[in-house]
């Protein structure tokens, strides 16, 4: 009986730890539209995996195929390797022409080019947030 309780406690702790690392993604209405896990897995509002951010910057779709990449300098590329935008250190997001299309603020608020809030997520790299909202909308 004691072994069963220990096993149950271990399972509860593992599940709690796994869910604690998932950060909720909210859309412009404040509704939860998915999660991004600390390991990079992207889930929709139903919990299904819809993509992944790899440690090397590769962005993958639900089938595991590469759909883009975030370079170390913040350049965001499509699956062909062409630059489609850039995430700058101050949170500004630019399109391939260099025009500002939005910003990811330090508190996780995402704003479009006119300054309106279009979403929010905290606890994951801001360049992932930029790619999620502006270039590879998984929601």
Quote the mean pLDDT of the chain: 88
Say if residues 66 and 76 touch (Cβ distance below 8 Å): no
Confidence band, pLDDT 50/70/90 cuts, at residue 13: very low
Residue 19 — left, alpha, or beta (φ > 0 → left; ψ -120 to 50 → alpha)?
Answer: alpha
58-96 pLDDT, tens digit per residue, is 999 999 999 999 999 999 999 999 999 999 999 999 999
22-45 pLDDT, tens digit per residue, is 999 999 999 999 999 999 999 999
Q: Is residue 130 scored above 50 in pLDDT?
A: yes
With 0-12 CB in 10 A as exposed, 13-18 as middle and 19+ as buried, what is 129?
A: buried
> pTM here?
0.81
């Amino acid at each position: 009986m004691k072994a069963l309780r220990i096993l149950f406690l271990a399972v509860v702790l593992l599940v709690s730890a796994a869910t604690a690392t998932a950060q909720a993604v909210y859309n412009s209405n404040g509704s939860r539209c998915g999660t991004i896990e600390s390991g990079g897995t992207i889930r929709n509002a139903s919990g299904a995996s819809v993509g992944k951010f790899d440690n090397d910057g590769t962005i993958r779709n639900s089938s595991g195929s590469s759909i883009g990449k975030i370079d170390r300098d913040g350049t965001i590329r499509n699956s062909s390797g062409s630059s489609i935008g850039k995430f700058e250190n101050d949170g500004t997001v630019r399109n391939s022409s260099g025009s500002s299309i939005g910003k990811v603020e330090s508190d996780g608020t995402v704003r479009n080019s006119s300054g309106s809030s279009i979403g929010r997520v905290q606890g994951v790299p801001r360049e992932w947030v930029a790619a999620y909202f502006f270039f590879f909308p998984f929601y």
